[in-house]
A and B are shown apart, each in its own frame.
Chain A
Amino acid sequence: MDPAGVFATSFARDQALIRTRQQWIAFTLFILALFVLPYVVGPRLVAISTAMMISAVVVIGLQINTGYAGQVNLGQAAFMGVGAYATGVLATKAGLPFWLSIPLGGGAAAVFGFVFGLSAVRIKGFYLALTTIAAQALFHFLILNLPSSWFGASNGLSLEPATFFGIALATDRSIYYLCLVVAIIMAFGAYGIVRSSHGRAFVAVRDDDVASGMMGINVVRTKATAFLIGAFYAGIGGGLWAYYVRFVAVDQFTLFHSIWFIAMIIVGGMGSVTGALIGVFIITAIREGFVTLGPSLVHQFPALGGDVVFATMNVFLGGIIAAFLIFEPRGLMHRWNIMKRSYRLWPFPY
């Protein structure tokens, strides 16, 4: 709901994402802060932020697919991997510049995701989740067993840095800006998609596919589209990843990475692009916190050994998924909306 005194006087205004002057100011400041960030913080935080941008792109795709269209997807990391490999091959073998290879990588991932999304023609619910797990297994198998001259098999694939008008994007700072710009474009694309007729069709199919079919929505096409879009986002994220790490290997895209992505949308809030961004930020921040605190933790409790970081991280991740599903299935975004609403209504209850 809007604060008092804000009235939508036209359709465009009613549809606007940013509704008040304060929001405009906050948004501008936020974007500015993101752009000056690499000059303020140290290299480690820049690296973490870059990883967040990349995850954000992937998770927004998952949010559209799972959060909006309700199609459980446990293969988002595999889709990301397809994008990364496609980008890598196009960049190294065909010598394409990054502004061609990343979108094409996204396209390749979209095709791969679409094939598995097609199974939505016949099945739904966790049966669909099973096909995405199969996607994960098949992806690993194909990469590892195809001739190593194609995708590098178990050796992985190394990339040259991206070049932009002759400038090599080899430093952390330059790659951060690349990821930031792409993430902003993709996020706005996602806001656009979920406000469009496609987005409304996704929500309708998620809430009741029989009823939405009655209303004239092509249910199968909507589900397949959701997979297509989700996988495209994953592929773009994968392409960024390929240029960021400049090394693509199959163990960067496992089932566990998919579960991390799902944890992010559960924590952030299903069915909200902003929620996806919040989830990415919080989960990544906590994970990096564990990694940073790890050595001192091991120092404090030497009996636990060096694997304790990985182990506690797993316990934490599993616990947080279960806790959010049990206590707040709609995620932090829902909490935030409740808070915002009561703030705007204060001192009235409703």
Chain B
Amino acid sequence: MIDFLNYLINGALVGLLYALVAMGFIVIYRASKVFNFAQGELVVFGGFIVWWMVLAMGMPLAVGLPLAFVAAAVFGLLIERIFFSRLVGESVFAMVMVTIGLLILIRGLVLVLFGAQVRPFPIIFPLKPVIFGDILIPRSLLFGAILTIIVGLGLSWFFNRTRPGLRMTAVAEDHQVAMSLGISVKRSIAFAWILGALLSTLGAIIYLSGKSLSFLASDIGLAALPVALLAGFESIAGVLLAGLIVGIIQGLVTAYVDPAVGGAVGTVFPFVIMLFILFVRPTGMFGWKTIERV
């Protein structure tokens, strides 16, 4: 029973971490109608910036972390300036393919700038787990989950209730309509990428705190895909719930099915969920019901 509770809670917390990364997908989608396949690479890039600021440059955490966030924001803005400001009004296909190009480009960039060695990541949350009775919870995941919920609800409020947020929502609906309403599509996309890069850096900090860092950490981007899809690509608060569901299912499958089958069912199970959602309900749980059916 205690084991079960342990798996349940840890699964839920990992799920919330996925939700944070998935939020990066959704924020970029909500403000620019671009589906960003390079999200995992943004996480890695954010992680390397933090590593570089804190460990390589030797800055204290209080200085290094804010600087890392600033650098990530500049990086996001650069991506928009170099690639996406030229693609406003182009087909969705072109934009999505550019993000795939970015996936590889950023990976190469990380390798060129920071090298392929595995780096230690600074310990941002103390390593000692939080203990309730018999339940062990990694501190980074716990704080991360709290942060995720706060950020998720805040962003949800921003996109659904405030004027700038609604303006971006219009961009996600249709670039041309938004432009004809006098909304700056470029500014919206720039904001989306800045926000996406910031969220990715936050995700990197929670995901990697005290672990080792290499470009392989980008797998979390793919792992977060099913979460974003289950929530529907437009719902920011929904992604919290979707993260919980996927995380708990994955945790339990890893704990109980993996030993029985003798393989990594847990890692591939989210993709099975993803296929199931795509076939049954492509809008996810809370997505806008505007997907064009064939």
> Chain A residues in contact with chain B, CB under 8 A?
70, 72, 74, 119-127, 129-131, 133-134, 137-138, 141, 144-145, 209, 219-220, 223, 256, 259, 262-263, 266, 304-305, 307-308, 310-322, 325-326, 329
Contact = CB atoms under 8 A, between A and B. Distances in A.
Given A325-B97, A325-B98, A329-B94, A127 B108 contact: no
B89 interface: no
Given A134-B275, A307-B111, A127 B104 contact: no
Given A72-B93, A131-B278, A307-B115, A126 B35 contact: yes
B222 A133 contact: yes
Contacts of B267: 141
Contact of A312 (B97, B106, B108): B108
Interface string B254-290: 0000000111110110011011001100100000000
A325 B90 CA distance: 10
B291 A123 contact: yes
Contact of A145 (B86, B106, B264, B272): B264
Contacts of A124: 292, 294
Contact of B115 (A123, A131, A305, A321): A305
Given A122-B293, A123-B291, A138-B271, A329 B108 contact: no
Nearest to B34: A126
B96 A259 contact: no
18 contacts: A119-B278, A122-B294, A123-B278, A123-B291, A144-B264, A259-B100, A262-B100, A310-B116, A311-B108, A314-B107, A314-B108, A315-B105, A318-B108, A319-B105, A321-B97, A321-B98, A321-B105, A329-B90
Query: Can you list the 4 inter-chain pairs with the closest CB atoms, starting with the nearest?
Result: A318-B105, A314-B108, A321-B101, A311-B111
A321 B83 contact: no
How big is the B interface, by class?
35 or more
In this complex, which of B101, B225, B278 has the most chain A Cβ atoms within 10 angstroms of its Cβ?
B101
Contacts of B271: 134, 137-138, 141
B102 interface: yes
Contacts of B229: 130
B106 A318 contact: yes
In this complex, which of B98, B100, B282 has the most chain A Cβ atoms within 10 angstroms of its Cβ?
B100
B162 to A, nearest CB: 28
A262 B97 contact: yes
A325 B109 contact: no
A220 B94 contact: no
Interface string B76-98: 00000001001100101110111
B123 interface: no
Prevailing SS type, chain B contact patch: helix
Contacts of B131: none
Contact of B112 (A74, A141, A311): A311
A319 B86 CA distance: 14
B103 interface: yes
Given A138-B271, A141-B268, A326 B87 contact: yes
Contact of A318 (B102, B115, B263, B278): B102
A148 to B, nearest CB: 11
Given A124-B292, A322-B83, A308 B92 contact: no
Interface string B54-84: 0000000000000000000000000000010
In this complex, which of A138, A145, A262, A315 has the most chain B Cβ atoms within 10 angstroms of its Cβ?
A315
Given A119-B278, A129-B96, A131-B275, A318 B294 contact: no
B286 to A, nearest CB: 16
Interface string B212-249: 00000000001001000100000000000000000000
Contacts of A141: 263-264, 267-268, 271
A254 to B, nearest CB: 12
B116 A137 contact: no
A305 B100 contact: no
Nearest to A213: B294
Interface string B95-136: 011101111111111011001100000000000000000000
